Amino acid sequence: MKKSAMLIALTAAAALGQQASAVTVTIACGSVGQELQLCKDGAARWAKKTGNTVKVFESPNLTNDRLGLYQQQLAAKSSDIDVYQLDVVWPGLLAQHFVDLKGKVPAAEVNANFKAIIAADTVNGKLVAMPWFTDAGVLYYRTDLLKKYGYSAPPKTWAELAAMAKKIQDGEQKTNKAFAGYVFQGKNYEGLTCDALEWIASFGGGSIVDDSGKITINNPKAAAALNSAASWVGTISPKGVTTYDEEPARGIFQSGNAAFMRNWPYAWALGQGEDSKVKGNIGVSALPAGPGGQPAATLGGWQLGVSMYSKNQDAAIDLVRYLTGPAEQKIRAIEGSYNPTIASLYQDKDILKANPFFGSLLNVFTNAVARPSGPTKDKYNQVSQAFSTAVSDVLNKKMSGGAAVAQLSANLARIKGRGW
Ligand code: GLC
């Protein structure tokens, strides 16, 4: 055989070899804001690099709905989804269904991430998932409106926020009836757990259940925090706020109909987008503090884990390593303002240019308050649902803050009685 013919044959064999080992991996991604598109883009880059195929499974927006769906898939030991996007509060609930990534992902890659997130993703020594992006609640405000109404800085306390929101709302409503002072996540779901934990922690009222597993919610500061939030509903916030999750709140703020919004960092990139009515007029600060308290941001964020029932675990792990690696986290930070979990990326000039608040609020991201998913383990979802239901009752004026935290404390004790 001539040399050139031999080369061609070898290349063809190599191509065939690659063909034979190429697999299809399915990843379940969220779809809040730009989540789905960015997931598809990243997955496509991996597919191109490896010759494998990726299918992206679109998950519901609400984290509660996602959890329900995933629990069904996992309980049925379904191999349909190889890689799952997991909320930071889920590892304790779902650990048994995921491959231990310890040893499968090089230690240097694991250790490049914030320690607290790796700790949250580790259950009884098992690394359930790799961090993909982190989240913390922040306050968005309209820089143009603050100026217009004579304010030189965003509010430092909830009382200041209420006063500023009222003044701006009263002024703007003269020409825009739909204008709201403050929008947040008031619907009864996991997002309300996040918002309400911020109010309570910033009043010095603790974090529902402490690290040792003790129920701490029944205290006057927690009650006062809930009463203060209830006083916003129908005054500085529309009554409908008790039905809002992240996206409705963002929609109102981004269309120019709110002075302040509590949301996660993803709302920044969208708010600065070409089709945003408030582009160039958005400020981001830490959330306000309660009386005598400190600002508090709830720790959120998402991880990627490989299902034990996946038939393509090696390729799935490779996809997880690729998507959670620094190059992909950088792209997602710049295009979608998703906070990296890799500490060194907070020094990256391009990332800081696209998201100046990643630098100015670094302490907010590194000191965020965890929901009690660690101490309550596989009971976390019940705890969170009991909590958000109690908060929702207060927001809907069915109960006072004091009565709600007392009743909640008794409910939590019953859940704890079944073991956590
Ligand atoms: C964000 C957070 C997540 C949280 C959810 C609540 O997606 O990253 O941790 O559970 O919001 O809606």
What distance in angstroms lies between residue 24's CA and the mean position of ligand 1's atoms? Answer: 29
Residue 21 is predicted with a pLDDT of 82
Whether residue 124 sits in one domain with residue 69: yes
Strands 53-58 and 126-127: unpaired
Residue nearest to atom 12 of ligand 1 (CA): 191
Whether residue 75 sits in one domain with residue 18: yes
In the block, which residue shows the tokens 């996540």?
Answer: 185
Work out the pLDDT band at 6, boundaries 50, 70, 90. Answer: very low
Q: Which domain holds residue 234?
A: 138-298+370-417
pLDDT reading at 8 higher than 90: no
In this prediction, residues 79-100 reach a mean pLDDT of: 97
Residue 270 sits in a domain whose CATH number is: 3.40.190.10
Per cent of the chain over pLDDT 70 is: 95
With the most atoms of ligand 1 within 8 angstroms of its CB, the residue from 65, 190, 371 to mutate is 190
Query: SS3 of 278, please?
Result: coil
Whether residue 406 sits in one domain with residue 319: no
Across the chain, what does the average pLDDT equal? 95
Whether residue 282 sits in one domain with residue 181: yes
Whether residue 161 sits in one domain with residue 29: no
pLDDT reading at 243 higher than 80: yes
Whether residue 294 sits in one domain with residue 191: yes
What distance in angstroms lies between residue 405's CA and the mean position of ligand 1's atoms? Answer: 23
Q: Six-digit token pair at 259?
A: 């002075």
In this prediction, residues 320-333 reach a mean pLDDT of: 98
Residue 133 lies in a domain: no
**pLDDT tens, residue by residue, 292-323:** 999 999 999 999 999 999 999 999 999 999 99
Per cent of the chain over pLDDT 90 is: 95
As a 3-state breakdown, the chain gives helix, strand, coil percent values, each rounded to 5, of: 50, 15, 30
Residue 286 is predicted with a pLDDT of 98
Q: Could you say which DSSP state residue 245 is in? A: -
CA pair distance 311, 314, nearest whole angstrom: 9
In this prediction, residues 81-98 reach a mean pLDDT of: 97
Residue 285 lies in a domain: yes
Whether residue 377 sits in one domain with residue 260: yes
Work out the pLDDT band at 17, boundaries 50, 70, 90. Answer: very low
Residue 2 lies in a domain: no
Whether residue 120 sits in one domain with residue 172: no
Residue nearest to atom 5 of ligand 1 (CA): 191
Whether residue 248 sits in one domain with residue 388: yes
Ranges of beta strands (E only) in 207-285 are 258-263, 282-285
Residue 9 is predicted with a pLDDT of 43
In this prediction, residues 194-203 reach a mean pLDDT of: 98
User: For ligand 1, which residues put their CB under 6 angstroms from it?
Assistant: 63, 87-89, 135, 190-191, 194, 246, 264, 300-302
CA pair distance 115, 117, nearest whole angstrom: 5
Q: Six-digit token pair at 304?
A: 């990627």
Q: Is 362 exposed, middle or buried (0-12, 13-18, 19+ CB in 10 A)?
A: middle
Whether residue 74 sits in one domain with residue 171: no
Q: How wide is the angle at C-alpha 267 spanned by C-alphas 261 and 273, nearest 5°? A: 120
Whether residue 243 sits in one domain with residue 356: no
Task: Please give the number of the atom of ligand 1 that sits closest to the Cα of 193.
Answer: 6
Residue 179 is predicted with a pLDDT of 98
Residue 393 lies in a domain: yes
Q: Six-digit token pair at 398?
A: 């069915």
Whether residue 114 sits in one domain with residue 214: no
Supply the pTM of this predicted model.
Answer: 0.94
In this prediction, residues 218-233 reach a mean pLDDT of: 98
- Alpha carbon of residue 281 to chain centroid: 24
Number of folded domains in the chain? 2
Residue 357 lies in a domain: yes
